[in-house]
Amino acid sequence: MLILSVLGVSVISLTSTSQHSFLTANANSRAYYLAESGLRYAQKIFCTEGWLQGRQRTLTLDGGDQVKVVRIGNYFWATSVVNDGTAMEARARVPMIISSCGNRPNGSPTPAVIDEFAVFGDVAISLGKNTIVEGNVGITDNDVDVRGDVLGSILAEDVFVNGQGSVNVRVAGGIYSSGMVSVRSGTVEGDIQAAAGISINSSEATIEGWLFSNGAVDIGGGAEVLGHIHACGADISIGSSATVGSFDQPIEIRTSGSVHLSGYAIVYGTIYAGGDITFSGSPTIVGGAFAGGNIGNGSITGDALQNSPTYLEEPICPYLANLEGLELPEPTEFTAGGQDVNVPRRSNSHPLTYTLLPGTYGDLSAPNNSSNSYTHLLLKAGSVDHAEYYFDSISLGNSSKIYLDLSGSHDIRIFVEGDVSLGTLEVFVSTNGINYLPMSDPAVSAEAAARVYIEPHGNFDLASPSYFFGSVYTPYGNLSVGNSSQLYGSYYSGGGHNIIGSTIIHVAPNYYSDR
């Protein structure tokens, strides 16, 4: 009987284990197929709406199973979970390379990628929602309205981070403002430093870094701040379901002013206020509260001590030295005027034709294009000294082609007293004076664009879609580039930029390093 009992228990155990293994395997399969479904969904959205780098979307099924999909570079990663929180919980993480969409539907956005984009000037700039800035954004005395991702830092007077619709802007660096900063729909992964105040007022706003301000700090609307908060000579307001800090990572709030908590705000950490700490509604401090003034009646889980400036350490004020040096380069003094240059049009099969030697000229232009004729203009870098060109204006219509011979050891430098207006433009580059390759060819080094420089003292206008190889500086005018263009170089403007939707590869210009 004993032997039979042992055998019976063993059979029951084996059956239970087998059933558990079957259920586990089934859950694992469901998790894997759910992740695959998420990837197919992501590819569809990518081709119809666009999907920016770093953006994550979450799908939840009726039964509670969930899949999160994030774009990392040229891959989608799907992470799924089924039977969450049960003994049968299973997860899967599956990657997929993003496929080409062929012809995108009309109105479907194509994200612009800007590699190291810096704006120096005193005119406001708006970065469109399909723009990705892979470097820093800088402007001296005006506003930056950010509706696309910035993978560097932002330096400006006033900064507005406002995603559009379901798009949540990402700023991977910090924000440094000589004015005020407002974040409504976005995630800022670095610190925010502002001279005139900080406003974080939306349930779509998350700040992962610290806040430093010389003005008032207003946090509300369900916003989340995970870093410490320091305000010099100003009050801090936290309310409307805002969350500051976390249970695992409590923070410090320090101000020489007062702290006002309202609504259902919750603070994980300790508050040090030179003035009062006041409560309205049902806020909670999961930590301590120390004030040089009074502390109102509220929920405080830690120690609370009022009228005790002994506990107040001075807050850290913003360090805005980063904004120093953000000024326009000194414009070049020059004069043009001379014989006009009218570049002939030739058929595309015609060999390279019009070579323009360095010198001082009047207007550089080309006649109206026809369906089978092109402007072929050849410029050569200097072998003994820089090849310098001076013009009254430049106007080249559509279907223009510029050939740059960089086999010489010096630069090509172009100075224009008036406007530069370029139609659809192609650029070909040679480093041996024989073989000319399209500028986007992998064999052409983007760094070579440092040797081509153009400075119009009017406006610079490049039609869509076009290519440009070299740096442009418009100290007095506007700088405009049509959508879907590709540019290698540096782009500075004293009048304003309109280059949203283009691809820019930043290359520091030789011209200013020489000066």
Q: Is residue 409 part of a domain?
A: yes
Q: Is residue 84 part of a domain?
A: yes
Q: Is 447 exposed, middle or buried (0-12, 13-18, 19+ CB in 10 A)?
A: exposed
Confidence of residue 207 (pLDDT cuts 50, 70, 90): very high
Cα 198 to chain centroid, rounded: 20
Q: Is residue 486 part of a domain?
A: yes
**Rounded distance between C-alpha atoms, residue 175 and residue 143, angstroms:** 12
**Rounded distance between C-alpha atoms, residue 72 and residue 260, angstroms:** 40
Give the pLDDT confidence score for residue 117 in this predicted structure: 47
Q: Are residues 301 and 156 in the same domain?
A: yes
Q: Are residues 179 and 308 in the same domain?
A: yes
Q: Is residue 483 part of a domain?
A: yes
pLDDT at 74 over 70: no
pTM: 0.58
What mean pLDDT is predicted for residues 295-319? 85
Identify which of 128-137, 157-166, 354-363 has the greatest average pLDDT. 354-363
Identify which of 29-43, 50-64, 115-129, 206-220 has the greatest average pLDDT. 206-220
Q: Are residues 271 and 419 in the same domain?
A: no
Give the pLDDT confidence score for residue 350 in this predicted structure: 62
Give the pLDDT confidence score for residue 130 in this predicted structure: 54
Q: Are residues 54 and 182 in the same domain?
A: no
Q: Are residues 258 and 376 in the same domain?
A: no
- Segment 257-288, tens digit of pLDDT: 999 999 999 999 999 999 999 999 999 999 99
SS3 labels along 26-87: HHHHHHHHHHHHHHHHHHHHHHHCCCCCCCEEEEECCCCCEEEEEEECCEEEEEEEECCCCC
CB 182 within 8 A of CB 197: no
SS3 labels along 422-490: ECCEEEEEECCCCCCEECCCCCCCHHHHHHEEEEECCCEEECCCCEEECEEEECCCEEEECCCCEEEEC
Confidence of residue 132 (pLDDT cuts 50, 70, 90): low
- Segment 460-492, tens digit of pLDDT: 999 988 899 999 999 999 888 887 788 888 888
Give the pLDDT confidence score for residue 276 in this predicted structure: 95
Give the pLDDT confidence score for residue 17 in this predicted structure: 47
Q: Are residues 65 and 124 in the same domain?
A: no
Q: Is residue 12 part of a domain?
A: no
Confidence of residue 22 (pLDDT cuts 50, 70, 90): very low
**Rounded distance between C-alpha atoms, residue 229 and residue 269, angstroms:** 11
Give the pLDDT confidence score for residue 263 in this predicted structure: 93
What's the domain count of the chain? 3
Paired with 471 in beta bridges are 453
Cα 34 to chain centroid, rounded: 31
Select from 66, 97, 128 the last residue of a domain: 97
Q: Are residues 64 and 135 in the same domain?
A: no
Give the pLDDT confidence score for residue 201 in this predicted structure: 85
3-state secondary structure of 510: helix
What amino acid is encoded at 38 in this protein? G
Q: Are residues 239 and 155 in the same domain?
A: yes
Tokens of 425: 């433009």
pLDDT at 21 over 70: no
Give the domain range for residue 471. Answer: 341-514
What mean pLDDT is predicted for residues 207-227? 93
Give the pLDDT confidence score for residue 452 in this predicted structure: 96
Q: Is residue 169 part of a domain?
A: yes
pLDDT at 179 over 70: yes
Percent of the chain scoring above 70 in pLDDT: 79
CB 258 within 8 A of CB 240: no
**Rounded distance between C-alpha atoms, residue 69 and residue 79, angstroms:** 6
The vertex-330 CA angle with 123 and 154, nearest 5°, equals 40
Q: Are residues 266 and 119 in the same domain?
A: yes
CB 287 within 8 A of CB 263: no
Give the pLDDT confidence score for residue 32 in this predicted structure: 85
pLDDT at 190 over 80: yes
For residue 231, give Cα distances in angstroms to 166, 173, 273: 31, 21, 10
Confidence of residue 388 (pLDDT cuts 50, 70, 90): very high
Question: Which has more pLDDT, 72 or 153?
Answer: 153
What mean pLDDT is predicted for residues 366-388? 82
What mean pLDDT is predicted for residues 311-320? 77
pLDDT at 20 over 60: no
Select from 273, 292, 323 the last residue of a domain: 323
Give the pLDDT confidence score for residue 141 in this predicted structure: 61
In our burial notation (b when 16+ CB lie closer than 10 A, e otherwise), range 279-316 reads: beeebbbbbbbbbbbebeebebeeebebeeeebbeebe
Q: Are residues 156 and 305 in the same domain?
A: yes
Q: Are residues 127 and 87 in the same domain?
A: no
Q: Are residues 392 and 300 in the same domain?
A: no
Q: Is residue 271 part of a domain?
A: yes
Select from 54, 70, 97 the last residue of a domain: 97
Q: Is residue 106 part of a domain?
A: no
pLDDT at 237 over 80: yes
